[in-house]
């Protein structure tokens, strides 16, 4: 096997799908869902038309050839519509980053806006956001992996809170505080299958 150098990548523009980038997560058997875990992983999928995906697929294949191994798992696959179970014509890449670095210190994902300026606040990025991702490729017998380092946010879709209809009972409670900063989050994903580019 030849010794490989770190291969950097930058994705084409695509649509975020099921991003978990606010903190690392791992699968919790008891809860039967991904739960926050400092030793877990950041993860997102990015979806784009097949023709746009070809340069990145070519780069990954070149990294695999250079490594001289045949990975069991690849970081891309055709996107399939959840309702029809038919291919959408898009390619879906999976990108990950470990929650801790090799020294046991927390990793973070860097965010940049559409102008290339670093975003210094927390970004509540959800499915449907248009993004570009960068990082590096690792290849082993187990997998070819897209390691995520940074995300450029082209169009941001943030979580929305669904409100309630008014109740007109005489003794109904009415709050006097400003509720414009409601922190409750709607966990329903915004991605509905075929993305709009």
Q: Which overall architecture, per CATH, does domain 7-155 show?
A: Beta Barrel (2.40)
Over residues 24-68, the pLDDT tens digits come to 999 999 999 999 999 999 999 999 999 999 999 999 999 999 999
Res 159: pLDDT: 76
Classified as helix, coil or strand, 50 is helix
What distance in Å separates the CA atoms of residue 125 and residue 180, rounded to the nearest whole number?
Answer: 19
- Angle among Cα 18, 7, 109 to the nearest 5 degrees reads 40
Residues making up the chain, counted from first to last: 197
> What is the pLDDT, as a whole number, of residue 1?
43
Tokens representing residue 195 in the block: 């993305």
Q: State residue 44's pLDDT score.
A: 97
pTM: 0.79
Q: What is the pLDDT of residue 4?
A: 52
| Residue carrying structure tokens 């084409």 | 12
Q: What pLDDT is recorded for position 5?
A: 61
| Whole-number Å distance between alpha carbons of 140 and 159 | 36
Domain residue ranges of the chain, discontinuous segments joined by +: 7-155
pLDDT reported for residue 184: 47
Given this model, what pLDDT does residue 166 score?
76
| Regions in the chain scoring below 50 on pLDDT | 1-3, 183-197
Q: Which of 127, 158, 144, 161 is nearest to 44 (CA)?
A: 127
């Amino acid at each position: 096997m030849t010794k490989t150098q770190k291969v950097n990548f930058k994705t084409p523009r695509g649509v975020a799908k099921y991003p978990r980038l606010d903190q690392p997560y791992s699968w919790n058997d008891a809860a039967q869902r991904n739960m926050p875990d400092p030793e877990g992983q950041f993860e997102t999928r990015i979806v784009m038309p097949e023709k746009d995906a070809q340069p990145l697929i070519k780069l990954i294949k070149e990294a695999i050839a250079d490594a001289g191994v045949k990975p069991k798992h690849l970081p891309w696959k055709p996107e399939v519509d959840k309702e029809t179970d038919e291919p959408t014509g898009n390619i879906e890449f999976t990108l990950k980053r470990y929650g801790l670095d090799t020294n046991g210190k927390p990793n973070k994902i860097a965010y940049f806006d559409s102008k290339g300026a670093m975003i210094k606040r927390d970004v509540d990025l959800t499915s449907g956001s248009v993004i570009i991702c960068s990082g590096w490729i690792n290849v082993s017998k187990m997998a070819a992996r897209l390691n995520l380092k940074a995300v450029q946010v082209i169009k941001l879709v943030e979580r929305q809170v669904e409100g309630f209809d008014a109740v007109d009972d005489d003794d109904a409670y009415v709050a006097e505080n400003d509720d414009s900063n409601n922190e409750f989050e709607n966990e329903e994903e915004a991605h509905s299958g075929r993305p709009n580019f």
